[in-house]
């Protein structure tokens, strides 16, 4: 588990504040793959920490980056609508 990069933080914030339909329309295969592999992995770790209450590394990273719990949940919901498995 690596520390969040600025690019990852921005991508998560975009997911949290965007409409999945709009994102999906402008997404190419490369972006979709990166979303699934990299951002999806981060969101899965965050989701796991929030649902199991085991660990808090991602939660603290999100807070430090200015990503509130509501933004985290919104990013997860958007990723799910884009077909990313977050379970």
Look at residue 2 in the predicted model and tell me its pLDDT: 72
Domain coverage including residue 13 = 6-81
Look at residue 1 in the predicted model and tell me its pLDDT: 63
Q: Is residue 87 part of a domain?
A: no
Number of domains in the chain: 1
Look at residue 10 in the predicted model and tell me its pLDDT: 94
CA distance 49 to 41: 12
Q: Is residue 32 part of a domain?
A: yes
Q: Is residue 86 part of a domain?
A: no
- C-alpha torsion angle, residues 7, 10, 15, 20 (rounded to 10): -70
pLDDT per residue of the chain (87 residues) written in tens, 0 to 9: 678 999 999 999 999 999 888 888 878 888 888 888 999 999 999 999 999 999 999 999 999 999 999 999 999 999 999 989 998
């Amino acid at each position: 588990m690596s520390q969040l990069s600025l690019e990852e933080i921005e991508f998560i914030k975009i997911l949290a504040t965007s409409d999945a339909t709009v994102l999906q329309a402008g997404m190419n295969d490369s972006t979709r793959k990166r979303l699934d592999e990299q951002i999806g992995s981060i969101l899965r770790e965050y989701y796991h920490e929030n649902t199991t209450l085991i660990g808090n590394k991602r939660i603290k990273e999100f807070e430090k980056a200015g990503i509130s719990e509501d933004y985290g949940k919104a990013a997860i919901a958007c990723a799910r609508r884009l077909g990313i498995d977050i379970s």
